[in-house]
Amino acid sequence: MSFLTEPEPERGARLPVVAGISRIVANNPGPMTYFGTNTYLIDTPDGLVVLDPGPEGHPEHVDAIMRHTGGRIALILVSHTHHDHVGAVPALQAATGAPTVGFRNSAIEAFDPDIKLDHGGSVAGMQALHTPGHASDHLCFALPAANGDKVLFSADHVMSWSTSIVSPPGGDMRNYFNSLELLLGRDDDVYLPGHGPPLREPRALVRAMLTHRMIREQAIAKKLTDGPSDTYTIMNALYSQLNPRLRKAAERNVLAHLLKMEAEGKAIREGELWRAA
């Protein structure tokens, strides 16, 4: 797959993206977060909305959000409850009093949104799309027109710089497949992901991601024909060239595939081992 790259963004700066939308990139770089979590500032008819305030433990990032908004925030949106997106919510809400918005069934006890959305729900002129797979409570937000562009805040479901990790139990590969199919049925012009630069003409990458996962599943099925195997052995065979820092995440992806195959009658679990059905 052909992914995008970008220079390291200026820390603490408000970076224009498309008309009425800018981002501040948190200083939490890593193999799972690229240069850091994108916090989006969105001008809406209801006022300025902040999407994904970023990780806990980075007061300088919350300070940057406050500086660039003057603390006048109408809503705090959360795409999903992984720590690098939701961690700074308490600090930002304490500083502004803005209500929080998220999926109706939060995946963590520490976050209970003030405004609960389901698939198809609306907030501040945007439509919420429930896109589980990477996380059970994952939402994308569709903005019909920003200077002529149909914008989708794709968060971690589809990123421009990397594929997403699907780690059970919160991650579910069957849901991930279905959520990719959901996006293929749309005509958005640009995705604004949770990490990395904007992605234009996004459907080509969505198709490639779905194809990649199908090929990976076929490779896992073929490996099982050699005999029963555990997730580490399968990962080690299929991801032998992978960065060592990402091998644990790759093993979680393998488990997610196997659980999908089990549900579809294509694999059988026997303790720590898996075999072909």
Domains, the chain, in order of start with CATH, read: 15-200 (3.60.15.10), 213-276 (1.10.10.10)
Give the tens place of pLDDT for each residue, 75-113: 999 999 999 999 999 999 999 999 999 999 999 999 999
- Please state whether beta strands 38-44 and 21-25 pair in parallel, antiparallel, or not at all (unpaired): antiparallel
pTM summary value:
0.96
pLDDT at 164 exceeding the cut of 90: yes
Over residues 249-271, the mean pLDDT reads: 97
Beta bridge partners of 38: 25
Q: Which residues of 86-122 are buried (b: 16+ CB within 10 A; e: fewer)?
A: bbbbebbbeebebebbbbeebbeeebebeeebeeebe
Please name the helix (run of DSSP H) or strand (run of DSSP E) that holds residue 205, with its range, or none.
helix 203-224
pLDDT at 145 exceeding the cut of 70: yes
Torsion of CA 202, 204, 208, 209, to 10 degrees: 20
Q: Which two tokens stand for residue 1?
A: 């797959």
Estimate to the nearest angstrom the gap between the alpha carbon of 210 and the chain centroid. Answer: 15
Give the tens place of pLDDT for each residue, 115-137: 999 999 999 999 999 999 999 99
- Return the percent helix, strand and coil in the chain, to nearest 5: 30, 25, 45
The pLDDT assigned to 146 comes to 65
Give the tens place of pLDDT for each residue, 18-33: 999 999 999 999 999 9
Over residues 199-218, the mean pLDDT reads: 97
Counting residues of the chain whose pLDDT is more than 70, the rounded percentage is 99
